[in-house]
Amino acid sequence: MILTKTTKEQQQQNTRILSQFEFAFITCDLDQLKNLLDDQGIYFGRTKANALAYWNKLFLAPEGLAKYPHAHVNRGYSRYGSEVLEIRMNKTITINHEGIPQFRTFGEEVNRTADERVFRFTFSFREGKICGVQRPREYTADIEKFVELN
């Protein structure tokens, strides 16, 4: 494996692409997701077409994400230091006594009373596109936990 250093420009570009992915996922915009993914990438161990088919079903099924009007995004880290994007989609939202919406923090269990769905992804980037998406097995809000283990 060849290790390369990511430049500031690449970091900014990757952050922008990640924000576009976040928005496309929350709005169930399959065309935008298609544009963000590299044709030769590996997504959940499969091809771009497989990933798009999965997301299409996820978005448009009778009880798909298109029926979940509330979204909240958290960020954390995988065991290997990759950024984890956590997207929480809810049909209902919990509001505290002051009228402020309440969302769960990164890594918390699914809130079944709010009919919540939680998705966590890590990403790889190449030449201005997403070239890999995985589901992290181990993740945390604070990377210090994993630094101590290594």
Parse the chain into domains and list their residue ranges: 8-149
Which pair of tokens denotes residue 40? 């030769």
The secondary element (H helix, E strand) that includes residue 13 is helix 8-26
Q: Given this model, what pLDDT does residue 1 score?
A: 43
Mean pLDDT value across residues 138-150: 67
Highest mean pLDDT among 34-48, 101-115, 136-150: 34-48
What order do you get walking across the sheet with 117-126 strand by strand?
37-43, 129-134, 117-126, 83-90, 70-78, 139-140
Domain 8-149: which topology? Nuclear Transport Factor 2; Chain: A, (3.10.450)
Which residue from 59, 78, 57, 58 is spatially nearest to 133, judged by alpha carbons?
A: 78
Q: Given this model, what pLDDT does residue 35 score?
A: 97
- Bridging pattern class, strands 37-43 and 129-134: parallel
Residue 94 has pLDDT above 80, yes or no: no
Tell me the percentage of the chain whose pLDDT exceeds 70: 91
Tell me the per-residue pLDDT of 27-75, one tens digit each, with 9 for 90 and over: 999 999 999 999 999 999 999 999 999 999 999 998 899 998 889 999 9
